[in-house]
Amino acid sequence: MPVYLKNSFRVDKYAMRYSDFVPRLFNFCLSLGMSPNHIMPSRAFCSDENQGYPIILITKHFGTFPFNHGRVGGIVATDRHAPHAHHGQDMVIIQASHVGYEPETEEFGIYRRLETENHQHSTDCGAICGVLDWYQNEYNFAREHIKLGRNGDELIVIIDNQLVNDERAEGIFLNLDKIIDMPNGSPEPLQFLSTAKVFYAADELKRRMGEQWPRNHRSIGSHLDSDLFYFRRDLDAITDAGQIINRNLIKSMPNILASKYPSLTAAQANAQVEFDRTFRSIVTEKAYRGKWVVFISGINIDISPREGQSFPLTKYVPWAAYVQNDSGQGYTLEQDELFHILNRHPTENPHKIDLTEVIGSMKREAEIQLHVDEE
């Protein structure tokens, strides 16, 4: 999987309320030539209950309940393309990894669950945050057990033995050439301690730290930057849906953990990988030939509801889109262009359905008796 940089997917000025995003997307689809009565939307969302409000809005504006293309974490089930294609003439897929946001503390990754007894906060998305835990623990260990110090006039680095053992099958691994002096291309300890080794510091680390180099021994802490480490993990041993999320994120994990908001950065990186992966599967999907396809990828930001609110004030942040016409020709829209195209389309939708009226009319319909010949 490619590595995605934490600053390539912008959030601040690109987030839009779902009540604006969905009708704009619908009107964009109409501008391409799609027919309002023949569009089959599909959503690739996580299974959390707070993803229900976006689904309701998709149903309202597209006039039909969306097909389910999603697995936990906003992973796209690409093996469902053919069934999706059989359910409509014009095809729309909306992918979204999601992340919670608590406005009172301005914290990403948590969400207030009003259905719990005391309205507790919990992780959101639980699948992505659960994957992060293992890497976060490894990262925290390294931050604490790499120490900077001095040996007379020399600057030294003290590293726990586990972190310099490159024969491990999995864990956090250091780019040692950027941390310690390696004159012969391999680590040469200055001193052996009971559980650690002492090395002369690399010139690059000295330049980075500058005047911040401690006079007494101190953990490297937040100075363990994203380019100083990487991870290995036995992903084949993970049997649940977390395996896909791990594969999506492992190479970007240093950027994720070193970012200000790891859960947000993880959701961004996951959406980036899912767009790239799903785009390639759509291009080769025979069932989509002869049909218009719009695939849009991004993140849902679930804003914690206040007391009395039924649903979160969800926002969508688009990352990219792929548009393929019924002749099989396609093009991609990058984040800036996609955002401006969506913004050019109105939030009014004369084709939307009144869900209250539609549901009410179903109750007024005459009952249909089921006739089954039973032996």
Peptide bond into 125 cis (omega under 30): yes
Which has the minimum average pLDDT: 113-117, 255-259, 260-264, 336-340? 113-117
Specify the pairing of strand 107-108 against strand 90-102.
antiparallel
Average pLDDT on 99-113 reads 91
pLDDT band at 315 (very low <50, low <70, confident <90, very high): very high
What is the structure's pLDDT at 7? 61
The strand pairing partners of 76, in sequence order, are: 70
Q: Is the per-residue pLDDT at 1 higher than 70?
A: no
Q: What percent of the chain has pLDDT over 90?
A: 78
Question: Residue 172 corresponds to which tokens in the numbers above?
Answer: 């956090």
Q: What is the dihedral of CA 312, 316, 317, 323, to 10 degrees?
A: 160
What is the structure's pLDDT at 147? 97
Strand boundaries in the chain, DSSP class E: 16-17, 39-44, 67-68, 70-71, 75-76, 90-102, 107-108, 110-112, 121-123, 146-151, 154-160, 171-174, 191-192, 196-200, 218-219, 229-232, 292-303, 315-324, 330-333
Q: Which amino acid is at 78?
A: T
pLDDT band at 2 (very low <50, low <70, confident <90, very high): low
Average pLDDT on 200-225 reads 95
pLDDT digits 0-9 by tens, 196-206: 999 999 999 99
Q: Where are the domains of the chain?
A: 16-109+261-346, 133-244
Question: Residue 255 corresponds to which tokens in the numbers above?
Answer: 């950027």
Q: Is the per-residue pLDDT at 280 higher than 60?
A: yes
Which has the minimum average pLDDT: 90-94, 145-149, 255-259, 304-308? 304-308
Query: ∠183-188-189 over CA atoms, to 5°?
Result: 140
Q: Which amino acid is at 178?
A: K
Average pLDDT on 228-249 reads 89
Calculate the average pLDDT of the chain: 93
Burial 247-276 (b: 16+ CB within 10 A, else e): ebbbbbbbbbbbbebbbbbbbbbbbbbbbe
